[in-house]
Structure 1
Amino acid sequence: MQTSPSKRPRSWRSPAIDEVAVISNGLGELALLDRKGNVTSWNLPDADGVPVCHELYDAPWETAFRLRLDDRKTPVGRRLEDTSHTLVSTWTNATGKACERAFIAGSPLASAGGRFARLLTCEQGTVRARLDLRLRHGHRGEEKVRWTVLRERDGFLEAKAAAGSSTLLLSTNMHLRFDEDATSIRGELALDAGCSAFVCIGWNGHTSPATVEDVEDLLRESEEGWLAWARELRIPDDGNAALVLGSAIRLRGLGHRAGSFYAAASRGLPEDDPREHPRAVRTWDYLCDWLRDSGLTVSTLHRLGDAAVLPARLEWYRSLPDLGRKAKVMYRMSGGDVARFGEHIVDGLGHRGSVYRFGNGAGDQEQHDRWVYPLEHLRLLSERGRFDLGLTEGLAEQAVRAAGKPCSGIWEVRRPEDDLVAYASTQILVGQALFNTAAVFAAAGLEEPARRYRGLGERLKAWVLDNCVLDGVVVAAPGLPVLDASALLAFHVGKDMFNLRKEGDRDLVRATVLAIDTPHTVPSRFQGLRVGKGHVRYHTHQFGDGVSQAEEALFTSVTGLVALTMLRLGMLDRADAVMREVLDARNDLGMWSEERTEDGRGLGNVSQAYVYQTVIDYFVNRAEFIAAAEHRSETAA
């Protein structure tokens, strides 16, 4: 009998967030696996769909999709392949050694995915492979997945099940035992050296592999597709090339075939530590396309040499009927309205007993930085001679109307008396949106609108300098003499608003990043944002953000932005030291959680785009910095 999520005792059995592995095909299909190799969350074919299983969220029912050795629950090692999203797990017992490969078929250059396959091969001695499969469908696990055998012959079985509106096909060469209602499956297969057991679940009408060779072909096609994509990239040839490539692959794995990108690989995982804040108010659904997060992803991949990502993004923008009139903060991956879909919260079902969310209540909020990202993409396209002046003007006029105005909803800045106030970093990005617009019109030979938008951008910069600078430091907002790390993102994106080649701009950026990097316990004009070996976004006791007064955890991407800003200022040694703190926060697979506590526990969503973006941008900029320094040295000699 299923226990009510609101009445059941907390079991605290969810895996640690920063130990979760993410596999993906770059087509919007992804899965999360824990350290034991069990699938903890897996979204069905349509990127707007619901999980087919989500034990990660500490559900009151058991789900499983695990392939392992019969007498072992945990592999002795695991890794992600260097040039793909394949998860490789090594298993040993007293009689032999085996290697399991888990992957979702497809790659960014492929047109079809739709299959999740696992292949366990005995490499030495003899072993017995074991399959545990129990799936539930729906955000609340309200539907058991029941299987019907379609065909069975020696060494092969195919079964079918329904999950919502989707049909799942299971194929395997293992000997299966079904429970009486065919919802729980056990499988076994004895393997000698060189032999393999496989299980594959497909959807959207894709054919089932019938043999080990079929699965090996599927794996080879997927990995060759990822390798072909990786070969297109321009990665600096230095000691950090493997790190940049791995980060690029994880970042591209958040993509969808429509030209949209997830903000992270999970939904509803708390930013709060639910053992301290059981309600976990800081928890959001990141399986959406947030214009900010995905915009930065597109720009980062484009700079790395991904030739397809920018044109695909333009077509996705054109598919959004409202973008040129009233752009939303976020969209569903297929372009649907997140706000209309709504946000749904289930108490007690989330990670470690906190809330579980699907959909996002921020979908209709006013966050005024959102126009800068599509306008940056339109600017990049204009440099190639490709224009969409109607969309450019529509976005630009929305930015013009946002000049000097506060955001509303959540993450907005509030004075202590709870009055909304214009965000300094947001206004920097509104100004950059106008500079981007001017560049597009100038490239099109239309100097009059270019001059107008450029002038508006200059006026916004003057407003920021007049109202949001105190003692040479950019503060959160007028009348709020406190620090906010979002200024670093604004400096990074707003390169026309604050040009580091200009002495005054450079001094301002330098003073701001040094103030942010000051330990929060050091007495100073502004309380610094460094806490131990990381940084908070801001101190919540200094101003309201519309969410909670509880102090946040350390954000990995903020520490990355501190390092990136220092690097762009030429502070190489100090920047490297800060970036080492980011690298030290990786798990054994080279992946990050969104946040961590001071003692190192991971919080927040997994495989977040922001972190990969900052790591890639840092090491690409670092290679350029070193090359420029060597060139200057050679010229001087």
Structure 2
Amino acid sequence: MNGLDLGVVGNGTIAGLVNSVGNYQWLCLPRFDGEPVFNKLLGGGGQFDIWMDGLVSRSQSYDTNTAILRTRLEAEDGAVMEIIDFAPRFETRGRVFRPASIVRRFHVVSGTPRIRITLTPETDWGDRKLPAVRGVNHIRFNDGELAFRVTTDAPVSYVLSGTSFLLEQDVSFILGADESLTDTVDVITLDWEERTRQYWTKWARSLAVPYEWQEAAIRAAITLKLCVFEETGGIVAALTTSIPEHEGSERNWDYRFCWIRDAYFTVTALNRLSAMGTLEHYMRWVRNIVAQSKGGHIQPVYGIGLESDLTEEYATHLPGFRHTGPVRRGNQAAEHIQHDVYGQVVLGVSQSFFDSRLISRPGIAEFRQLEPVGERAFAVHDTPDAGIWEFRTIAEVHTSSAIMCWAACDRLSKIAAHLGLPDRATYWSERAAIIHKTILEKAWNPKVGAFTASFGGDTLDASVLLMAEIGFVPASDERYVATVDAIDSTLREGNHVYRYKTEDDFGRPKTAFTACTFWHIDALYRVGRVEESREMFESVLSSRNHVGLLSEDFDPSTGDLWGNFPQTYCMVGIINSAALLSKPWSEVI
């Protein structure tokens, strides 16, 4: 798995990554974009590791329909142990309990395993270890702004010194706030584990999953929910930073922020499964962004706490994933001009105006707040921007951005009609028509036989495949069918699709972009190549890691996963393609 043999545990406040031998590779505190205290993923020394004497086999899986991760280790002498990892999440006193805590339970299955536990969190992005202060049954780590406590019923002396010992009975660890627990650690661990299990199984049971590929869709949905920072409703694009798109690419970005584009796709995918809570949380976040913009420029990405300043810096004390730097914190994309965001803002909240299931449905006042976003979309639809792929030195009139500007005006027209505002419906319909006509005239290249990446251009970009999904043209349109064929022959390698194959700021891409592969699968289905789309979908599912997760990129030549992990775009693709391609329930029951 080239280092991405990782499972995710989280609860909507924090999230961590655990590898297939039970070692924490990544955990940021006190939230997704915070300080990485366990940072081995990027070559640091921040550890929460387990060593087992005579280890001969390992396996890892999630407990069914939950975010509880179980790692099984077996030794040559027959000793077997399991590590149960989770972040507590359950309903209590009328609210969801989701503290900045992780729980680890080391369970003896058979024999007497001999183990060593290493707990050495770091701070300042790998610059130094956090000082440890011993208590009777806990270890405090306090460095001013960053403070937490690890409470355990394991021998504290052994943990602090890294001494190996015989595990004769179960032991538990709770990493959380620097305060005493209300009961013994074992009692709390077992209680939280069962209540967390009940929460996730209940939530999964509420999903309207497709008949086929149910397990894949449920795992994708749970993973997407783990990427939602529920305090504000912001959704991170991934839980990591600086995992490169391929070795030596320097395409190492910090994805622990909320891209309006990625969040829109996440919300719509969960809506397809009837997981409406995410839409309600995200609506709050978007409304704040719209209010903050005052009808002007909207950044493509903000912090999960609505931060607009995401200054990009290098973390020089971390060597990087597989020693492939640089390691970045912050993201310059916040400074980019990307016109697709206006369509994604409107698309992301459109369903909320029509869905009677929501507790707080928006109305005319909220529609009025969105109209300046539409005005901005109309004003910029035929002007250059950085595009959906956030080019740093290339500015063109990107077709995908123009399409999203059309979507903003089109959906505002539909919302106005639904709210009984015929004058506004006509107004926005007319603007959508103007943009539609412009795109058809300037993005279609008859010599290439396809809609191209930019107005008047001659190169292909997989993002134009979204035309049919958002309703810009029907999938039966001859130009769309021709575009699908052109992308199939040009950007596809095996069963994986590249974003584009032209030179960009960092040269020519060397890995396929998994989200584009899913877009192409859906496009093939829509143009009638059904069996091919199903075969391609099955192939991509087989490229997931051992617990069903995907990263941003895939190397068709080696089968390796690359890019930030797990990427919401990719998990969205699993849900969308499964829902589109699956046989309907009515055919099988």
Q: TM-score, normalised by structure 2?
A: 0.91
Alignment match, 1:533: 495
Alignment match, 1:614: 573
Distance of 1:289 and 1:587 partners within structure 2: 24
Q: Which runs of 4+ in 1 moved over 6 A?
A: none
Alignment match, 1:67: 50
**Aligned mate of 1:362, from 316, 327, 333:** 333
Distance of 2:144 and 2:202 partners within structure 1: 35
Partners of 1:22 and 1:265 within 8 A in 2? no
Distance of 1:79 and 1:377 partners within structure 2: 32
1:76 aligns to what SS in structure 2? strand
- Aligned AA for 1:273? E
Whether 2:269 is the aligned partner of 1:284: answer no
2:198 aligns to what SS in structure 1? helix
Distance of 1:605 and 1:164 partners within structure 2: 30
Give 1:604 deviation, angstroms. 0.8
Whether 2:519 is the aligned partner of 1:561: answer yes
Matches within 5 A, 1:166-565: 166-177=146-157, 185-186=161-162, 190-192=166-168, 195-203=169-177, 207=181, 210-236=184-210, 238-257=211-230, 258-274=232-248, 277=249, 280=250, 282-320=251-289, 321-325=291-295, 326-337=297-308, 340-347=309-316, 349-353=319-323, 354-384=325-355, 386-387=362-363, 388-408=366-386, 411=389, 420-471=395-446, 472-492=449-469, 494-495=470-471, 497-500=472-475, 503=476, 505=477, 507-518=478-489, 528-541=490-503, 545=504, 547-565=505-523
Give 1:345 deviation, angstroms. 1.6
Alignment match, 1:57: 42
Alignment match, 1:12: none
**Aligned mate of 2:22, from 26, 37, 50:** 37
Give 1:350 deviation, angstroms. 1.9
Provide, for residues 591-634 of structure 1, a one-character-per-residue CA deviation record: whole Å limited to 9, x for no partner. Answer: 112112221122111110111111101111223x6568x69xxx
Report percent identity of matched pairs.
Answer: 22
Unmatched segments (≥5 aa) in structure 2: 356-360
Give 1:529 deviation, angstroms. 0.4
Give 1:323 deviation, angstroms. 3.9
Whether 2:563 is the aligned partner of 1:604: answer yes
Give 1:377 deviation, angstroms. 3.4
Give 1:360 deviation, angstroms. 0.3
Alignment match, 1:135: 121
Unmatched segments (≥5 aa) in structure 1: 1-14, 519-527, 632-637
Partners of 1:171 and 1:201 within 8 A in 2? yes
2:493 aligns to what SS in structure 1? coil
Distance of 2:144 and 2:530 partners within structure 1: 53
Give 1:474 deviation, angstroms. 0.9
Partners of 1:110 and 1:225 within 8 A in 2? no
Provide, for residues 403-446 of structure 1, a one-character-per-residue CA deviation record: whole Å limited to 9, x for no partner. Answer: 101114894679xxx87320111111110111011111111111
Partners of 2:22 and 2:83 within 8 A in 1? no
Give 1:205 deviation, angstroms. 5.1
Distance of 2:330 and 2:554 partners within structure 1: 24
Alignment match, 2:99: 113
Instruction: Summarize the Cα distance change of 1:490–1:356 in structure 2 as closer, same or farther, 3 Å threshold.
Output: farther
- Aligned AA for 2:319? L
1:463 aligns to what SS in structure 2? helix
Alignment match, 1:521: none
Give 1:35 deviation, angstroms. 2.9
- Aligned AA for 2:270? L
Partners of 1:406 and 1:412 within 8 A in 2? no
Q: TM-score, normalised by structure 1?
A: 0.84
Partners of 1:365 and 1:409 within 8 A in 2? no
Distance of 2:182 and 2:550 partners within structure 1: 33
Distance of 2:422 and 2:265 partners within structure 1: 28
Distance of 1:336 and 1:473 partners within structure 2: 39
1:110 aligns to what SS in structure 2? strand
Distance of 2:131 and 2:112 partners within structure 1: 32
Provide, for residues 150-188 of structure 1, a one-character-per-residue CA deviation record: whole Å limited to 9, x for no partner. Answer: 3x2xxxx12211145132111111113379xxxx54265
Distance of 2:338 and 2:463 partners within structure 1: 13
2:552 aligns to what SS in structure 1? strand
- Aligned AA for 2:303? R
Alignment match, 2:130: 145
Give 1:227 deviation, angstroms. 1.6
Distance of 1:512 and 1:608 partners within structure 2: 26
Give 1:90 deviation, angstroms. 0.9
Distance of 2:547 and 2:106 partners within structure 1: 19
- Aligned AA for 1:120? F
Instruction: Summarize the Cα distance change of 1:47–1:626 in structure 2 as closer, same or farther, 3 Å threshold.
Output: closer
Give 1:82 deviation, angstroms. 2.4
Q: How big is the alpha-carbon RMSD for the aligned residues of Structure 1 and Structure 2? A: 2.5
Instruction: Summarize the Cα distance change of 1:262–1:63 in structure 2 as closer, same or farther, 3 Å threshold.
Output: same
Instruction: Summarize the Cα distance change of 1:107–1:361 in structure 2 as closer, same or farther, 3 Å threshold.
Output: farther
Provide, for residues 334-353 of structure 1, a one-character-per-residue CA deviation record: whole Å limited to 9, x for no partner. Answer: 1111xx24111235722233
**Count of equivalent residues:** 570
1:370 aligns to what SS in structure 2? helix
